[in-house]
Structure 1
């Protein structure tokens, strides 16, 4: 009887150990980590939605989470930049629409440039310590903040009823989404920096 109980106990412990190491458990922990981290951002639902597919590579790493968030922001900014550059080719644009789109193209180009620098800079943080770490993180925070300003400036360029219409609505929707993702990325970079 004691031997049977011991075997049962050992098998139970083995089962529990296997479950704890299973890909499902790891994926669940990574998803929970992303949700918890995103809860401190300004747009938590968008944060989780944009990052959940990357849970296997993020695991529970604040650095990898910040890096992934920046990469997602960069990808969306590039896509939006391409979209805005196609919009300027529309026939029948009003002069104000054309000017707003042209300005937005410049802002989105600047945003893409700054986010690209941020992604590269954060990669250098891995080896950095002390003041060197703070310098790299400060660069990332500055560039991401500037990218967010660029995105908001693009949206502001379409203010006023004179520009109401499909062009304004379609550009605004995409740029606002990029700005929200960028805001979340900045928050996650700040979280990562505060844990070092």
Structure 2
């Protein structure tokens, strides 16, 4: 009976170690972002696929950013269909739809580029792919900021759009930090595929 209890204890300890290790990796990695608690919250559900890989972490962060950008774009598109918008609000919303469309395209390209990178990308090939990803994620962040800054008139519409874009920008800022972290760790040779 004592043997069974011992093996059960070892089994439970093993499960606990294997399930917390990916979360610990995410927590440690998210400390390099501007919004670490948001970063951990957004990426925790990806822990199983991240498995301590900087590449998988960066890709998951960009996927989270892409999903949030799609939701924000849909939200702004619904706003454009509301009646009662002032002409300047309507134009700002239309401009925001355009910038958010560009944002979604940039993040989608980033995810595809990270997928193409696969397991073994080295040297100039790696740097070229990473340059693309960094540029596109940075562009997405810029578009989100342009969207929230495009409202010259204070009011409810500006407030709700700004709130939504601030959240999207925080998620994208975290993704950019983790993409940059992946690039640095790869150059140092400390990455895991």
Task: Count residues in correspondence.
Answer: 185
Question: How far apart are the structure 2 equivalents of 1:142 and 1:149?
Answer: 10
Task: Quote the residue 2:174 is aligned against.
Answer: 184
1:76 maps to 2:68: yes
Q: Tell me if structure 2 keeps the 8 A contact 1:69–1:188.
A: yes
Matches within 5 A, 1:29-178: 29-126=21-118, 127-159=120-152, 163-178=153-168
Quote the offset at 1:26 in angstroms: 1.6
- 1:195 counterpart SS class: helix
Quote the offset at 1:171 in angstroms: 1.2
The root-mean-square deviation of aligned C-alpha atoms, in Å, is: 2.0
Structure 1 stretches of 4+ moved >4 Å: 10-17
Q: Tell me if structure 2 keeps the 8 A contact 1:144–1:182.
A: yes
Q: Tell me if structure 2 keeps the 8 A contact 1:84–1:171.
A: yes
TM-score (norm 1): 0.87
CA change 1:17–1:133 in 2 (3 A) is: farther
Task: List alignment gaps of at least 5 residues for structure 1.
Answer: 1-9
Q: Looking at CA atoms only, which structure, 1 or 2, has the larger radius of gyration? A: 1
Quote the offset at 1:125 in angstroms: 1.7
